Amino acid sequence: MSDFPTIPGYTLRQFLGRGNTSQVYLAVDRQGREVALKVPLQSTLRVKEAAERFGNEVRLTLQFRHPHLIRADAGTAFGPQAFLALSYYPDGALNEQLAQQGQLLEQPAALRILADLASALAYLHHLGAVHQDLKAHNVYVDPHGRAALGDLGNAYFVAQGGQVSGSPYYMAPEIYHGEGSSAASDVYSLGILMYELLSGERPYQGNTYEELMISHLTRFPAPLNHLNPAVSRSISRLASQALAKRPGERPSADDVRRALLRALGETPQDEVYEEDGPPPEETAKPVVGRHGPAQPRLPFHCSKAAPAETADDPKRGAGWNPFKRRR
C-alpha cells in the first residue's frame, strides 16, 4: 500500500492493472464512491508526446458525456499529480473478460456491446471527433452487459487536426496508406471487433506490422456467417461493409448502430445531442497540447435504448507492440 502514489482526495485501495502509459488503481473518493484512478507512469510524464497524450485523454474524457463513453468524474491533465478518476468496471477491460471466459459471448450480449460502441462512435463523429483506437482493450462492460468505450488519448477533433494513430490489428487500410484517419476508420475498427466478438477470430492476422499491413490491404476475410453459422446474413453483410477497403463504401457508425439494434429485435430511435452546462469538478489545466482548446461538454440524450440517467447523474460512480502504432 505504501508504494501507491498519493492523489489528494482519494484513498487508493488496490492495484487494478498497468498499460503502456499508466497504472490504474481502485480508489475511493471523499464521498466514498469507488473509482478507477488512472495515474501516468513516470516514464510517460518524462516524454512530451506521451504526457500530452495522457493530458488529451484527461481533457476529452472529462469533456464528452455519453452513456457509452467511459465517464470521468475528475482529473488533472498535466504535472506530477496528473490523474484521471474513471467509472470503475469490476470485470476489467473486454479483452481481459474474453480471455477469462475462454469462449464466445452469447450473440445477443455481443450485439448489445457492439451497438453501444456504435452509439458512442456516432456521438463522437457527430461532434466532429474521431476515436482512433477502438479495440477490445479499450472497451469496458458493466454487470448489466452495457459497454463503454475508453482511452480517448488518441482522439481528436478533425477540424483541429491531430496525429494519426491506431492499433495494427484494428487499423484501416487508409491509415496504412498514410492517408489519415476519419469517422470511417473508426467504423472499420468496429468491423474488426464484430468479427472478434461474433466469430472469436480477428479477420486479419500477422506476426509483424508489415504482415498485418499486407493482410489489411489485400485480403478479404471469409463472411462472418461462414465462420459462425449462428450469425445472420444481414449482420454478416454489415461486418463486411464495415471492413470495406475504401472508407467511402463503409456505413456510418449510426447506420451500424441501427442495424445492430434491429438484429436485437428493437426499433432504433434517433439519438439526440444537445448542449449542457459545464462539466463537474474539472481540475484539468488549460490545454497546451496538440489537440487545441477544449470545447463545451456535450451531453447525450436518447429516448429509449440507453439509460439517460447514467449519462447525466454526476454522482455515478518492449519490442514491437501489435496493439500500438503512432506516427
Residues engaged in binding ligand ATP (CB under 6 A):
16-22, 24, 36, 86-89, 92-93, 96, 137, 140, 151
29, containing H or E segment: strand 22-29
Three-class SS of residue 73?
strand
Binding residues: 38
Looking at the Cβ atoms of 150 and 251, the one nearer to ligand ATP is: 150
| Shorter beta-carbon distance to ligand ATP: residue 165 or 215 | 165
Quote the least distance from Cβ 62 to ligand ATP, whole Å. Answer: 14
Is 151 among the residues known to form the active site? no
Closer to ligand ATP by CB, 301 or 324: give it. 324
Q: Cα–Cα distance between 236 and 229 in angstroms, integer?
A: 10
Q: Based on C-alpha coordinates, what's the Rg of the chain?
A: 19
CB 249, min distance to ligand ATP, A: 29
Shortest spacing between CB 194 and ligand ATP, in angstroms: 21
Show binding-site residues for ATP.
38
The dihedrals phi and psi of 262, each to the nearest 5 degrees, come to: -65, -40
Q: Find the shortest distance in angstroms from Cβ 122 to ligand ATP.
A: 22
Q: What is the 3-state secondary structure (H, E, C) of 156-185?
A: EEHHHCCCCEECCCCCCHHHHCCCCCCHHH
Nearer to ligand ATP, 77 or 238 (CB): 77
The closest of 160, 150, 149 to 127, measured between CA atoms, is: 160
Rounded CA separation 220/93 (Å): 28
Phi, psi at 272, each rounded to 5°: -115, 130
Give CA separation, 272 vs 40, 87, 122, 222, 275, in Å: 34, 23, 11, 36, 10
- In this structure, is the dihedral angle defined by the CA atoms of residues 296, 87, 140 and 52, taken in order, positive or negative? positive
Q: Which of residues 87 and 181 has its CB atom nearest to ligand ATP in the complex?
A: 87
| Joined grid coordinates for residue 315 | 454522482
Look at the block and give the residue holding cell 513516470.
Answer: 42
Q: Which of 133, 151, 186, 254 is catalytic?
A: 133
The DSSP symbol for 279 reads: P
What does DSSP assign to residue 39? E
Q: How far is the CB of 164 from ligand ATP (least distance, A)?
A: 16
83-87 vs 22-29, strand pairing mode: unpaired
CB distance 192 to 243 below 8 Å: yes
215: left (phi over 0), alpha (psi -120 to 50) or beta: alpha
For the bound state, the minimum distance from the C-beta of residue 133 to ligand ATP, rounded and expressed in Å, comes to 7
**Residue 282 · residue 260 · CB < 8 Å:** no
> Which residues are known catalytic residues?
133
